[in-house]
Amino acid sequence: MKSLDCFESFNTNAVLFDSVLKHSPSCLAFKNLSGQFVRVNAKFCHVFGVTEQEIVGKLESDVFQLNDSVAFAEADRAVIKQVKVFETEVDISINGIQRTFIQVKFPWLTPQQEVCGVGCVLTETTRVKWLEKNYGLAQKVIENATEAVVFTDAKGLIIDVNNAYQTITGYQRKELIGKNPNVLKSGRHDRSFYQAMWGEIKAQGHWSGEVWDRRKNGEIYPKWLMINAMLDEEGVATGYVGLFSDLSEQKEAEEKLEELSFYDPLTHLPNRILFHDRLSVGLSIAKREKHPLAVLLLDLDRFKIVNDSLGHNVGDELLELIAKRFVTLGRESDTVARLGGDEFAVLLPELSNAEDASVVAQNFIDVLLEPFCLSGQSINISVSIGVSIFPSDGADVDGLIKRAELALYKAKEQGRNTYHYFSQELQDAVFEQLEMEDEMRHAILNQQFTLFYQPKISLKTNKITGMEALVRWIHPEKGLIPPDKFIPLAEESGLIIPLGEWILQEACRATAEWVKKYDENLVVAVNLSARQFKSEDLLKTIQNTLDTFQLDPKNIELEITESCVMENVENALQTMKDFRKSRLRLAIDDFGTGYSSLGYLKQFPMNTLKIDRSFIMDLTPDSDDAAIVEVVILLAKKLGLDVVAEGVETDAQLAFLRAQGCQYVQGYLLSRPLPADEFEAFLKDNI
């Protein structure tokens, strides 16, 4: 009963009241019936920043600038009137900071149970409220996160999962609670993987890494998993939080990107970038292991014809089918790539000797022998191949590819459907060509070109009716270079355009002079190369030149070869029509060599046929050539065209042509092509 004694000894209201006031963690205040403060405790003073002396005897509204002091006074009156306890939550702004309290107001009673004032207990809940609110927020964040979150207990059994976890795994929350997350195992990782993982979590409290799991529907997917242990004060795990994101979409995107950047979308073969990469890797291995390596460059022959005549869709389908045949060839380690268009490449990284590449090359040629069947049509296509070998032809990617390219050109030149190895002679020839191209550029600037003229004679009158302008290159060191040696190169390099313009000007300049001096009907024949003929400005250039030298269109005849016309009949026909509208004369050169059909011949709006020299050369009565020449002359007459026989060297040839009714001849028998001054002298005598 000791404690009771103690209690009794302190059992005076005043002492008990004072100590409660002093130690209460809540704010306590007592007001009399007029609303004046009678007592407040230390906590009250601390929270509201006042002293007891400042406040006792004052009204609430005297001390505090409370917005709702009216409401407070009202509440006090209700307590007094109803003699009841009221409990409310109030927000009070103290020094500009909003704080929340639980407020209990109770009637202050005398020992006679009469109300003598109001007591008030204010317990602050600001922090609790903040925690409550923010915990809700964190929960919301977790619930709606795109990452899956799982909470487990210390044994690793699932306590809760969020929405993403259910979406990614395909399991419902209720199917998971109480289970071990290993229900998701894909079987891709072995025991030691999980052992190592748990070892790390136990030791360090966390682990992260890529894991392959299985969805409820059986699908296996990669995820990036992070596991954190939740530890108590003693460092003992009370549970675990797992967090992961689904990597499958990212993986797919990565794969797609790789596919796009390294593979050709049409054939799915490696593209140029990947080919170069593999070649570079192959080269370093070949260097280290000292074995040869081969690069094969493949170019389909006349693929453009398929594209142009059957359309690009058929062209694409054909490429796909070709690619399918190609991949059946070669070894696992070989790379068959599509470099673009109708160009393919093969890398043979492990050769025992250079000659083995020829077997592979022949296989690629042979695999195309059987025709392709596309949209009901049978299509034949062949391929030309250039081969370069490491180490003999080069030791780097660019060098080997360039040399294979040169070899490919050679294969094309040799009539296609064949392969060709790179050789030093090839390289030399290319150097020579490049050198010549360079020299030719200089030659145009330094006026090393000149025109020769070969007279054309009418067999009716035995007089000169015109001449063919033939270009010569007077090289300062090499002397006179015939056009066969440089026209094809000029054509290939594009130099034919400036050179052709010069030829045209020079021919017109000289002819304008001779027309004035000797014969107003004199016609100069100027050869046009294929590239010139296709150029859009050609007609304008010619007209300007004629204007410059005041030459009538009737004084010039443009010679285009039969093969140039046949290359693209539609376009050629249009260009020819445009020429004729401008009153320019047209001749078909080298007639008989370009396979034009009679049907076309009728449509071509030309003035003259030049029978190719090859038919005149072996002209003996009753030969095949004689028959051809006879027919051509007859045909030209029927179509109302002039006929010129070129390359007439003998009297017999001349006699035959005369007998057949050929109108004009040109050839060494009458005159070789002559420099301008010599030609002029010849002209003067034969007009």
Interface positions with ligand C2E (CB under 6 A): 454, 469-471, 482-484, 487, 503, 527-529, 559, 589-590, 613, 646-649, 666-668, 673
Task: Give me the least distance between CB of 448 and ligand C2E, in Å please.
Answer: 14
Long-range contact pairs involving 665-668 (C-beta distance under 8 Å, separation at least 24) = 665/456, 665/457, 665/459, 666/454, 666/455, 666/456, 666/457, 666/468, 667/616
Q: Would you count residue 589 as binding Ca ion (CB under 5 A)?
A: yes
222 vs 500 by CB, closer to ligand C2E:
500
Among ligand C2E, Ca ion, none, the one that 178 touches (CB under a kind-dependent 5 to 8 A) is: none
271 vs 465 by CB, closer to ligand C2E:
465
Among ligand C2E, Ca ion, none, the one that 560 touches (CB under a kind-dependent 5 to 8 A) is: none
Of 12, 33, 31, 29, the residue nearest 21 (C-alpha): 29
Among ligand C2E, Ca ion, none, the one that 342 touches (CB under a kind-dependent 5 to 8 A) is: none
Task: Give me the least distance between CB of 452 and ligand C2E, in Å please.
Answer: 7
Residues in 593-632 that interact with Ca ion by CB under 5 A: none
209 vs 483 by CB, closer to ligand C2E:
483
Task: Give me the least distance between CB of 657 and ligand C2E, in Å please.
Answer: 12
152 vs 527 by CB, closer to Ca ion:
527
Determine the length of the chain: 687
119 vs 667 by CB, closer to ligand C2E:
667
Number of residues counted as binding Ca ion (CB under 5 A): 4
Question: Would you say 317 and 384 are in contact if contact means Cβ atoms under 8 Å apart?
Answer: no
Among ligand C2E, Ca ion, none, the one that 647 touches (CB under a kind-dependent 5 to 8 A) is: ligand C2E
Among 299, 342, 501, 559, binds Ca ion (CB under 5 A): 559
Among Ca ion, ligand C2E, none, the one that 562 touches (CB under a kind-dependent 5 to 8 A) is: none
107 vs 673 by CB, closer to ligand C2E:
673
Stretch that binds Ca ion, among 88-96, 107-115, 239-247, 581-589 (CB under 5 A): 581-589
Among Ca ion, ligand C2E, none, the one that 242 touches (CB under a kind-dependent 5 to 8 A) is: none
Among Ca ion, ligand C2E, none, the one that 361 touches (CB under a kind-dependent 5 to 8 A) is: none
Q: How far apart are CA 590 and CA 465, in angstroms?
A: 20
Within 416-556, residue ranges assigned H as helices are 424-445, 483-493, 496-517, 530-534, 538-548
How many of the other CB atoms lie within 10 Å of CB of 590?
19
Tokens standing for residue 362: 């022949």
SS3 state at 93? strand
Task: Give me the least distance between CB of 293 and Ca ion, in Å please.
Answer: 47
Of 675, 601, 652, 603, the residue nearest 631 (C-alpha): 601
Among Ca ion, ligand C2E, none, the one that 394 touches (CB under a kind-dependent 5 to 8 A) is: none
Among 590, 654, 662, 664, binds Ca ion (CB under 5 A): 590
Q: Would you count residue 264 as binding Ca ion (CB under 5 A)?
A: no
Phi, psi dihedrals of residue 253, rounded to the nearest 5°? -60, -40
- CA dihedral over 584, 590, 594, 597, signed as positive or negative: positive
Q: Would you count residue 439 as binding Ca ion (CB under 5 A)?
A: no
Is-cis flag, bond preceding 371, omega within 30? Answer: no
Of 422, 337, 353, 342, the residue nearest 386 (C-alpha): 422
Stated as kind and residue range, the H or E segment containing 685 is helix 676-685
Among ligand C2E, Ca ion, none, the one that 483 touches (CB under a kind-dependent 5 to 8 A) is: ligand C2E
335 vs 454 by CB, closer to ligand C2E:
454
Task: Give me the least distance between CB of 676 and Ca ion, in Å please.
Answer: 18
Among ligand C2E, Ca ion, none, the one that 470 touches (CB under a kind-dependent 5 to 8 A) is: ligand C2E
Q: How far apart are CA 666 and CA 643, in angstroms?
A: 11
Question: Would you say 75 and 69 are in contact if contact means Cβ atoms under 8 Å apart?
Answer: no
Among Ca ion, ligand C2E, none, the one that 209 touches (CB under a kind-dependent 5 to 8 A) is: none
CA separation, residue 29 to residues 77, 86, 560 (Å): 15, 15, 118
Q: How far apart are CA 286 and CA 590, in angstroms?
A: 52
Task: Give me the least distance between CB of 545 and ligand C2E, in Å please.
Answer: 14
**Residue 15 CB burial class (10 angstroms; 0-12, 13-18, ≥19):** exposed
Task: Give me the least distance between CB of 400 and ligand C2E, in Å please.
Answer: 36
388 vs 527 by CB, closer to Ca ion:
527
Task: Give me the least distance between CB of 321 and ligand C2E, in Å please.
Answer: 40
Q: Which residue has the tokens 């004009």?
A: 664
Among Ca ion, ligand C2E, none, the one that 268 touches (CB under a kind-dependent 5 to 8 A) is: none
Q: How far apart are CA 533 and CA 545, in angstroms?
A: 16
Among Ca ion, ligand C2E, none, the one that 674 touches (CB under a kind-dependent 5 to 8 A) is: none
Task: Give me the least distance between CB of 526 and Ca ion, in Å please.
Answer: 9
Among 103, 267, 384, 527, binds Ca ion (CB under 5 A): 527
Task: Give me the least distance between CB of 649 and ligand C2E, in Å please.
Answer: 4
Task: Give me the least distance between CB of 295 and Ca ion, in Å please.
Answer: 41
Annotate 226-261 with three-state secondary structure: EEEEEECCCCCEEEEEEEEEECHHHHHHHHHHHHHH
Taking each helix axis as running N to C, give the angle between helix 397-413 and helix 272-289, from 0 to 180 degrees, rounded to the nearest 10. Answer: 110
Task: Give me the least distance between CB of 540 and Ca ion, in Å please.
Answer: 23
How many of the other CB atoms lie within 10 Å of CB of 309?
9
Q: How far apart are CA 512 and CA 515, in angstroms?
A: 5
169 vs 454 by CB, closer to Ca ion:
454
How many of the other CB atoms lie within 10 Å of CB of 141?
11
Q: Would you count residue 562 as binding Ca ion (CB under 5 A)?
A: no
Task: Give me the least distance between CB of 588 and ligand C2E, in Å please.
Answer: 11
Binding site for Ca ion (CB under 5 A): 527, 559, 589-590
